[in-house]
Amino acid sequence: MSSKHSIVGKNLQKVDGFKLVTGRPAFTDDIYLPGMLYGKILPSPHAHARIKRIDTRKAKELRGVHAVLTYKDVPRVPHTTAGQSWPEPSPYDTYLLDSKMRLVGDRVAAVAAESRAIAEEALRLIEVEYEVLPAILEIEQATADGAPVIHDEPDATGIHDAQHNVAGYILKEIGNVEDGFLESDLVIEREFRTQRQQHCPIEPHVTISWLDSDNRLVIRTSTQVPYHTRRQVAMILQIPVQRVHVVKPRIGGGFGGKQEMLLEDICGALALATHRPVKIEYTREEEFYMARSRHPQILNIKMGVKRDGTLMANKMTVLATTGAYGSHANTVQGNTGSKVLPIYRTPNMRFECHVVYTNTPVAGAFRGYGCPQGYFAQESVMDEIAYTLGMDPVELRKKNMIRLGDIDELSAQLGEGRKGLPRHIRSCGLPECLERGAAAIDWVRKRQEFSNVGPNGVRPLGERRSPLHPESGHLRRGVGVACSMQGSGIAGVDWAAALLKLNEDGSFNLQVGAADLGTGADTVLGQIAAETLGVTLDKMIVCSGDTDFTPFDVGAYASSTTIISGGAVKKASEKVRDHLLLLASKMLDIPVDNLTCRENMVVTKCECEKSVSMEDLAHFAMCKEKVQVMENASHWNTDSPPPFCAQFAEVEVDTETGQIRVVHLVTAVDLGVAINPMQAEGQSEGAVAQSLGYALTEEMVLDASGRVINPSFLDYKMLTAKDMPKLTTILVETEEPLGPYGAKSISEIPINAPAPAVANAVFHAIGVRFQKLPIRPEDVLRALRDKELSSPQRR
Amino acid sequence: MSDFHLDFIVNGEIKHWTIAPGDLLLDVLRREGYFGVKRGCETGECGACTVLVNGKPINSCLMFAAQAEGCEILTIEGVAEGEKLDPLQEAFLEYGAVQCGYCTPGMILSAKALLAEHPDPTEAQVREALGGNFCRCTGYLKPVEAIMAAARVYRQVGPSGARPKAERRSALLGKKR
């Protein structure tokens, strides 16, 4: 597959790698502008309150303070912070500054001062009197009778049922699940709960904004969505789009958390108010309660299956909270249905979801986008079905999985806030993922050797475990599997453009609106252009994510960049190549049909072997022909080809401490063609690390007042180099007809299934099924104790 | 309190800086243009601001600049010799160990300190040395592989970069004393 290409499929180094390993100034905050002020936001101390009185006089009088803004000073424009395509599917329920506080950390006021210390002192001098309102902290309380109304403002729009705190509601059904359950021999219904996980990019959100010499507002910011941000900021600040210039430098990780316009509006407002450059940067603590997180969900899932393992019905009912604002409320939860249920052919599927407001930190886009929650529930129940039927979990999945040529109609019903498009499966490597993944973890042997759970029930705890470890009776091993799929861009919505320009030395400027946030997109897009033009990657000067200098792109989300932006790059490159061949034909006096581009030259296809170097050709174009070779192209897809993934976990559970140690995590992923296999592996490995944290350690914990009590890396546990298990990544390449050079996507999918694979492996090890994340040592110990107490031997 | 006028050796060059008593080393280094020293948490947890002070990796957000007076400070900017990358930097690129690159300077410096002490580290030692450097992108596998590979190069040809010898250090400071 990849071997027929010279640049695509090669492990080339990142085009931006040199500056990153040498620490050159490349990130948002790596500049200093003369006169730059420090912006700071006063966070609400209350989860739900109204500002009765706010007095900023003392703060304004403090020496070095240049602006203090409250809701009285700024336009009131309902909007969403979610960076999504127009028309935006998330409710307009957010304001630049408001008189009502809806979470601990909500914006009360903003200041700009000559130093951070002065800005912090100014915050202390703002006098606020609050009317504290009853707050909703638990998901189930949101719709209870008499619950306080979080969005009672009259000007919010797009909220499903504001009076009952329901931000969004989804109900889609294919077939009739109740009939499906009647036809089933086995029906299992379970409830799962998932927690609030934080993105934790090592670079916190940071924005620097200033007025340039044309009085335009420049916003240099750590964003995944430069163009959406430009549109949002213009609307919120009530200035023309024309007056806003968004610049995305290098980004220190985003994972969805920067698909959100979080600081750009307030930073821009302060720059407009002071006529000085202003920087605002979240502290790590602020990142935890003022940025975004993964939507917590309570999932009820009921699956019906024939005795032979054929799935007949799958009904998923979700109650999710979006926190205090409805950022990505409908679309994340829509994906919990549309990208999870259809992985298995099921004649009857039903997905219903309420997304409710609570006075808690705001959820938003997070790598996986609703799928990790859904797959935790679905893949756990699939495992239970396999055990109950006495089937191998891998075989049960193989029997039911979606296949090449299938058309998934559920995703047609669950579009991006509107009706979507049916998903045609034009490439599917899932069977190979399951086979190669199983081989890599030694599935068949370990299922038998570790087995605690067989047709005769659970092996008693006191018994020694597998012969592999005869000496350690309290350590139990198990292996588990889980599958997932994702999408590659949003069908019919995501689009991108690319501009490619030839320079007189034979190099090219590749200008893309795409937003490399550390994913390696600039490199992958450069490889696609270089491959198409027959030049080496070092001939590409890649510039991305600048609204003045690069064409439109929706931005980096929904696993869209390689397939959508890459599609645009390929088209633009083909147009440039055609132009180059015409010029070369004229220069060499050889018919165009007989010419091709390769190795930084245009050469003849026939044996006569005439050639011209790209440099000489560029010289000819610019000095003789006086023509700028430059083309642009736009691209979108009518479909979102899903990548597929099978993940296998081996765990060791210490029954004395409750500690779960992941020993080995295998990811076999069908990503289409890997444009850069090394980078693709890196995407997978990073996603797995985040998912293992989701499975075992990561959780934002709130106290009774709605405050995050663990807003630091000390108390919010991410996995370190020492905690990571052995990782095996297998790229299962397929050829996707809709992708550039056959590519699909990789960035999100490997985050979906490690958590259920671990949970299933834990069940294999100790016979306990955990339905709540994260699975903490105390949960394990408690479950083991309960199990022991209820075991027949004890009674 | 009045400002201090202190000498430091940063990447082999002597620096005379005016600092306030409460200034953190992180802030001073960034203020002086060493933007490769990254701000990630300011509480000594993430390791993005790691620099070597007299060869030891420290979180520069937890050290007062004044405490580093007279010390040799190595930041990421001093690891390469001009355009010639250190084997660690080469390996990070070669092995795909850089994604967003925000934690990369800290990881490379932690690794540099490790290799100075343990030229032939085990994988466990490498992981231990990276224990204080959070990376949210890579899952650590490729950085670990890169460091193991760089160790092999170090053993053959040695590291590069600005590393003033002890006598040069005293000469540098002595000049101004």
User: What values do phi and psi take at A287, rounded to 5?
Assistant: -55, -35
Q: Is the peptide bond before A774 cis (omega within 30 degrees of 0)?
A: yes
- The model's pLDDT over A27-76, given as tens digits with 9 standing for 90+, comes to 999 999 999 999 999 999 999 999 999 999 999 999 999 999 999 999 99
pTM above 0.80, yes or no: yes
Query: Above pLDDT 70, what percent of chain A?
Result: 96
Spell out the domain ranges in chain B. Answer: 4-78+163-176, 87-157
Distance CA B138, CA A686 (A): 4
- pLDDT at residue A2 tops 70: no
Cβ contact (<8 Å) for B136 and A25?
no
Q: CB contact, 8 Å: B32 with chain A? A: no
pLDDT at position A361:
98
The model's confidence at residue A633, banded by pLDDT at 50, 70 and 90, is: very high
For tokens 């499906």, what's the residue?
A180
- Determine the CATH number of domain B87-157: 1.10.150.120
Structure tokens of A91?
């409710």
The shortest C-alpha distance from A670 to chain B (Å) reads 19
Contact B77 A23 (CB under 8 A): yes
Cα A32 vs. chain centroid, distance in angstroms?
31
Helix (H) / strand (E) containing A445: helix A443-449
Find the residue in B nearest to A518 (Cα). B100
d(Cα B135, Cα A725) in Å, to the nearest integer?
15
Average pLDDT (A132-141) is 98
**Residue with the larger pLDDT of the pair A607 and A556:** A556
For domain A297-489+640-790, the question of CATH label 3.30.365.10 is answered with: yes
* Torsion region of B139: left, alpha or beta (phi above 0 gives left; psi -120 to 50 gives alpha): left
Q: How confident is the model at residue B168 (pLDDT cuts 50, 70, 90)?
A: low
Confidence grade of residue A414 (pLDDT, cut at 50, 70, 90): confident
- Quick one: pLDDT band at residue A793, thresholds 50, 70, 90? low
Cα A254 from Cα A557, distance rounded (Å): 10
- Given a cut of 90, whether residue B164 has pLDDT beyond it is no
> Taking the CB of residue A59, how many other CB atoms lie within 10 A of it?
23
Interface of A with B in 491-550 (CB under 8 A): 517-520
pLDDT confidence band for B174 (50 / 70 / 90): low
pLDDT at residue A412, rounded to an integer: 81
ipTM: 0.96
> Which of A464-473, A478-487, A617-626 comes out lowest in average pLDDT?
A464-473
| Mean pLDDT in residue range A102-126 | 98
User: Region A604-616: what's the mean pLDDT?
Assistant: 91
Helix (H, G, I), strand (E, B) or coil at A697: coil
**The CATH fold of domain A2-20+495-636:** Aldehyde Oxidoreductase; domain 4 (3.30.365)
CA distance B124 to chain A (A): 8
The structural architecture, per CATH, of the domain A37-133+202-253+258-290 is Alpha-Beta Complex (3.90)
Strands A297-305 and A186-193: antiparallel
Q: Amino acid identity, residue B169?
A: R
pLDDT at A791: 63
Strand order in the sheet with A611-613: A595-598, A601-604, A611-613
Give chain A's mean pLDDT. 95
Q: Does A86 touch chain B (CB under 8 A)?
A: no
B130 at A interface, C-beta within 8 A: yes
User: Residue A515 — very low, low, confident or very high, per pLDDT cuts 50/70/90?
Assistant: very high
The domain spans of chain A are 2-20+495-636, 37-133+202-253+258-290, 297-489+640-790
In angstroms, what CA-CA distances link A116 with A123, A205, A291, B63?
A: 11, 16, 20, 19
Looking at residue A135, what is its pLDDT? 98
The size of chain B, in residues, is 177
The string of pLDDT tens digits covering residues B98-112 is: 999 999 999 999 999
**Count of pairs with CB atoms under 8 A, one residue in A, one in B:** 179
- Predicted confidence at residue A606, as pLDDT, reads 87
Residues of A in contact with B136 (CB under 8 A): 199-202, 253, 255, 686, 689-690, 718
* pLDDT tens profile A12-33: 999 999 999 999 999 999 999 9
**Closest chain A residue to B130 measured between Cα atoms?**
A721
The pLDDT confidence band at residue A795, using thresholds 50, 70 and 90, is very low
A663 sits in which H/E element: strand A660-672
* Chain A neighbors of B46, CB-CB under 8 A: 202, 284, 713
Angle at A327 between CA A223 and CA A322, to 5 degrees: 130
Per-residue pLDDT band for A422 (boundaries 50, 70, 90) equals confident
What's the token pair of residue A338?
A: 């549309």
B104 interaction partners in chain A (CB closer than 8 Å): 20-21, 23
Fold of B4-78+163-176: Ubiquitin-like (UB roll) (3.10.20)
Which pLDDT value is given to residue B176? 45
Taking 50 as the threshold, does the pLDDT of residue A794 lie above it? no
The number of angstroms, rounded, from the C-alpha of B166 to the middle of its chain's C-alpha atoms is 18
Contact A517 B36 (CB under 8 A): no
Write out the E strands in A180-310.
186-193, 206-211, 217-221, 244-247, 278-281, 297-305
Query: Which residues 175-204 on chain A approach chain B with CB closer than 8 angstroms?
Result: 199-204
For the ranges A616-620, A717-721, A784-788, the lowest mean pLDDT is seen at A784-788
Is B171's pLDDT higher than 70?
A: no
Domains A2-20+495-636 and A37-133+202-253+258-290 share a fold: no
Would you mind telling me the total number of residues written for chain A in this entry?
795
DSSP A700-744: --B-TTS-BS--STTTS----TTT--EEEEEEEE---TTSGGGB-
Please tell me the predicted confidence (pLDDT) of residue A331: 96
The Cβ of residue A175 has, within 10 Å, a number of other Cβ atoms equal to 16
What band does B125 get if pLDDT is binned at 50, 70 and 90? Answer: very high
Mean pLDDT of A80-87: 96
pLDDT tops 60 at residue A346: yes
Query: Nearest chain A Cα to B132, which residue?
Result: A720
Which H helix or E strand runs over A424? strand A423-424
Contacts of A359 (CB under 8 A, 6+ apart): A47, A48, A102, A103, A104, A135, A136, A137, A150, A324, A706
Task: Tell me the percentage of chain B whose pLDDT exceeds 90.
Answer: 85
* Residue B146 at interface with chain A, using a CB cutoff of 8 Å: no
Q: Do B104 and A721 touch (CB under 8 A)?
A: no
Q: How far is B177 from chain A (nearest CA, A)?
A: 31
| pLDDT given for residue A201 in this prediction | 98
Percent of chain A with pLDDT over 90: 92
